Amino acid sequence: MSKHYKFKYKKPDELLEAARELKLDLPFSTNIDILLKPSTVAGIEIPNRLVTQPMEGFDGSAQGAPGELTYRRYRRFASGGSGMIWFEATSIDPDGRSNPHQLMLTPDTLDDFTRLVIETRLAATEKFGAAHRPLLVIQLTHSGRYADPNLNHHKVFAPNPFLDPIDSRPEIWKDEELEVIGEKFQKAILLAEKAGFDAVDIKVSHGYLLHEILGGFTRTDSRFGGSFNNRLALIRRLADTPTKLIKAIRLNVTDMIPHPFGFGMNPDGIPEPDLTEPLQMIRELKDRVPLWNLTAGIPYYNPHVNRPFDRPLKGEKLPAEHPLEGVARLIRLTGMIQKEFPGLSIVGSGYSWLRQFYPNIGAGVISNGMASLIGVGRNAIAYPDAPRDLMEKGSLDPKKVCIACSRCTEFMRYGEPSGCATRDLEIYAKEYKKNIKFRG
């Protein structure tokens, strides 16, 4: 571990020197052409290798339909030039929403999601022409232990001393209830197909329900817990759901929480990653799931693991590691998996902290066979037209990039519609000053 450090690098050599001092392997390329060339995912060509990652806006209606800010956000992503747009976490059940305004896909909101798909595609066509067709992925989820605490079904699959309040006695999911949740996921997958998406992500990350089940080592009284075969059962069933959509999974490859309370961890309890089970899972599902999006950590517990930052949330401490360590960890783990499965399309995460240099690192990563696609979440919100600038100018504007200030996360933690308070002056800078700045 090393001391936390804010991003102050003006030149790529300064960034690379910092990586060398930390003894980190940070691939780098001065030629970013590989990012802008077309690629193929499950036989479908996409215009480039740049991915907009799923980042909740919490600006839907009470029924879960996209709101006007939702439409605005995805039009901006599409006209910005991303080759793949991974739509934000969308609940499959009212009790599974983490926020009263989280999107939710149901028969009642199907027409609204269909409109969202149409408007997103139209925005891309109007800017780049009909040949530029981004792949649209919808992420389906149930928030599980992180469902809105005002809901009646705030439950956990297995108690976790690292994630649960001290001396808490959480309610436990019954197997029969999880069967119903599985059926709701399957119905939502079919609705996603009707809405016109290209792919569906069965979210298995960041502590939400399916990921919690996957890490349920201690839940030995459930047919979904204990053994690896049991813990994968529900995910396996969803991966087998008949649909024309490309199947995708956003997967936590490591939780950075000691075993047996964290997935993808050394079984001896040492707080270090172990990819044995993530590799086993991908090996079993790879013929059914050709698209994977890899991440790590639990945002509510160790947010620096999946999104290295300069400024923590109010009231939280800086982590005892340099953000480059978090970036390099994600690159290394993703690279190990991509090299094990070179035929799979794998999206790498954690690049936003690198600011204007993320395309160079991303190009180096892809050139070294360590990922197929490069995804950004916070930077996409701050700088939705970054791919277009790369196409037209060959570089990014340092005055437009994400500065890893955590304000977009602050919006979410306070239950407000989320966006970039630093770069999106039209809406979110004003909202931050009015609703967030003086809280806490």
Which tens digits make up the pLDDT trace of 263-302? Answer: 999 999 999 999 999 999 999 999 999 999 999 999 999 9
Residue 440 reports pLDDT greater than 80: no
Q: What radius of gyration do the chain's Cα atoms show?
A: 20
Residue 371 reports pLDDT greater than 60: yes
Element (H, E) at 255: none
Q: Quick one: average pLDDT of 142-163?
A: 86
Residue 308 reports pLDDT greater than 80: yes
pLDDT in tens, 311-346: 999 888 999 999 999 999 999 999 999 999 999 999
More confident residue, 224 or 151: 224
Q: Where are the domains of the chain?
A: 12-435
Q: Quick one: average pLDDT of 124-130?
A: 98
Separation of alpha carbons 375 and 87, rounded Å: 12
Q: Which pLDDT band, with edges at 50, 70 and 90, does 152 fall under?
A: low
4-13 long-range CB contacts below 8 Å, 24 or more apart? 4/318, 4/319, 4/320, 4/321, 4/322, 4/323, 5/322, 5/323, 5/324, 6/310, 7/310, 7/323, 7/353, 7/355, 7/403, 7/404, 9/355, 9/357, 12/357, 12/360
Q: Is 101 helix (H, G, I), strand (E, B) or coil?
A: coil
Phi/psi at 347 (5° precision): -90, 130
Contact 346/338 with Cβ under 8 angstroms?
A: yes
Q: Which pLDDT band, with edges at 50, 70 and 90, does 170 fall under?
A: confident
Task: Look up residue 436 and give its amino acid.
Answer: I
Separation of alpha carbons 63 and 106, rounded Å: 9
Q: Quick one: average pLDDT of 37-62?
A: 97
* Average pLDDT score over the chain: 96
CATH class entry, domain 12-435: alpha beta
pTM above 0.85, yes or no: yes
Separation of alpha carbons 43 and 439, rounded Å: 49
Instruction: Give the pairing type, strands 155-156 and 291-296.
Output: unpaired
Residue 1 reports pLDDT greater than 70: no
The tokens of 74 are what? 């995805």
The tokens of 103 are what? 């999107």
Cα–Cα separations (whole angstroms), residue 352 to 53, 106, 312, 361: 11, 32, 15, 11
pLDDT for 151: 62
